[in-house]
Structure formats: C-alpha cells, structure tokens
Structure 1
Amino acid sequence: MSDFFFTTDPFSEFDRLQREMANLFGGFPSSLRSGRLGAYPPLNLGITDDSIEIVLFAPGLKADQFDVSIDKGLLTISGERAPVQPEGDAEARPYAQERFAGKFRRVIELPQAADPDKVEARYVNGCLSISVGKREASRPRAITVS
C-alpha cells in the first residue's frame, strides 16, 4: 500500500512533502544561507517596523574579531574562535569537547526593504547585535481617507 493518497489536487502532495522536509530539517527560514543544525554561532533574527535585528551569540570573542559586511543584499558575519588550552598540565588532552573552536561564517539574506547605509553593530556580554534600518519607502504609514 502506498503512503501517497492523491486527492483532486495532485500538487497538494508536493506541499505536504515540502512541509515534511521543512520539519525534518528544523524549519529554518530561507534567509539563513548557513542554516544547518548546530551552526556556530547561533543567531536570532527579528524584524520591527523600522529595522531588521540580528543577535549573534558568540561569547569569548572581542569586537575586533568579527568581520561584518553587506554586499548585494547578503549580510556576512565571519571570524575565528581560538581553542581553549587547559590550564596546568601541558600534556593534558581533551576527552570531550562541546565548545566550538575555529573559523566561522554566517550569511543572512536581507529583505529588499533593508538599507545597507543604515547598519549599526555592537558587541556586549558575548552578543553581537546588528541593526539594519529599513528604507523610508518600505516603512508602514497611515493614510488619511477624506
């Protein structure tokens, strides 16, 4: 017996398959170009009426260790996190490690409303916060009806 039951609309099965694939891979938004499970550093994306807000969680780094750029609607954040050497015995070898060390790169596709000339970034308490302003034409506005 088949798992596929066709209704009058054969394309509904493609929609169902797409939803199942999205659930399988965690349902990452399409704007995350490196949205694999366990990607480092983890990040949150948000949007307001005035801006796109990105918060990247990368404790143990310094502000000058990040390279942030925008090109053709893509926000790229890259850097490198050095491994931590155990204190004391120089011959100690790690038994298990969960802390990421090495080069990283995250790429986020920005919406068309993003204004690359209105970007602010700050690094506080292990969080890199990036705010990308929206273009004036894309902001919501009230229209008076007369």
Structure 2
Amino acid sequence: MADAFFGTDLFSDLERLQKQMTGLFGGFPSSIRAGRFGAFPPINVGATDESIEIVAFAPGIKQENLEVAIDRGLLTISGERHAVWQEDMPEARRYAQERFIGSFRRVIELPEGADPDKVQAKYANGCLSVSVGRREASKPRAITVK
C-alpha cells in the first residue's frame, strides 16, 4: 500500500541517501568533534573508590603538545598532532590520509564527587593517563550496624 503513495520503498530511498552522504564525506565526520566515530583521541573512563581514571590514546603526539585542564567539573584534553610523512618526503603526493593531523579537544564531564585539587596526569607509550581523586565525602564507606 505504501508503494501507491510514494511510488517506491521509502526505506530504500533513505538508505540510498545515507550512502550518498557517506560517500560525499569519505565515511568520516566533517569535523573531529562531529560525532563519536572518529573522535580523537579515543578515551576510556573508569572509576575506583579513590579516583576517576581517564586514559586517552594519543600516539604520535609529543608530550609538550598535550594540555590537560579541569574547570567546573569538566576535564579538557587538548593538543595538536603534526604530520610526520611531510617532513621525510616533501615531494610525495598524497593519495590517502587516514591518520588525523591537526588540533583536537575532548571534554569529559566528571562526576559530582571529583576533586579538582587532586589531579595527576602522565603520558607514556602514546597513552595519556589522568587520575582525578574523589572528595572524602563522596568516597564509599561501610557503616557498622549496631
């Protein structure tokens, strides 16, 4: 019955349109912050009783090009990744580029109990590890039943 009104299958048309849009943008978001797919750097976020742990996977970035800031419950990781191949082969023509280069910024909302005065960050082997301590009042504790 839907064919009588539209003359074709609406879902097939939408799928075709989606494929055309994907082809237009090369299958990647138009901006590094456009969506979860392609967001850089990819992150893992977890928690212990003592802290919130964030690991950002940022290989190929020099430590001095990374910045970590915390403000109003938001942890911001920003920096810049430079091209490597252009320095080694300036005469090479680019046919494809899958590795992101340029400035980036990720913002992570921290839980309410995060303590901005207890932040540590270290960068090793392409991984930026950030540990944000919890306030004493927000740490879980056992209550003795009498």
- Measure how far apart 1:72 and its partner are: 0.6
Counterpart of 1:75 in structure 2 is 75
| Gaps in structure 1 of 5+ consecutive residues | 2-32
* Offset of residue 35 of structure 1: 5.4
Q: Which residue does the alignment assign to 1:145?
A: 145
**TM-score when scaled to structure 1?**
0.73
1:118 is displaced (CA, Å) by: 0.4
Query: Rg larger in 1 or in 2?
Result: 2
1:66 to 2:66 alignment: yes
CA contact (8 A) 1:123 1:129 kept: yes
In the TM superposition, residue 85 of structure 1 has moved relative to its aligned partner by 2.3
CA distance in 2, matches of 1:88, 1:66: 23
Verify: 1:111 aligned to 2:111, yes or no. yes
Which AA in structure 1 matches 2:115?
D
Report how far residue 114 of structure 1 moved: 0.3
Q: Report sequence identity in percent.
A: 70
- Give the alignment of 1:29-108 within 5 angstroms: 36-86=36-86, 89-108=89-108
1-structure distance, mates of 2:34, 2:131: 20
For 1:44, give the aligned amino acid.
N
C-alpha distance in 2 between matches for 1:122 and 1:145: 41
User: Counterparts of 1:35 and 1:63 in 2: how far apart (Å)?
Assistant: 26
Q: 1:73 to 1:35 in 2, by over 3 A?
A: farther
Number of equivalenced pairs: 115
Letter in 1 for 2:55: V
Report the AA paired with residue 109 of structure 1. Answer: E
User: Would you tell me which structure has more helix in proportion to its own residues?
Assistant: 2
User: Once superposed, what is the RMSD of the aligned Cα atoms?
Assistant: 1.9
Q: Normalization by structure 2: what TM-score?
A: 0.73
Deviation, structure 1 residue 98: 1.0
Structure of greater relative contact order (alpha carbons < 8 Å, 6+ residues apart): 1
> Displaced runs of 4+ in structure 1, greater than 2 A?
33-36, 85-90
User: Which amino acid in 2 is paired with 1:96?
Assistant: A
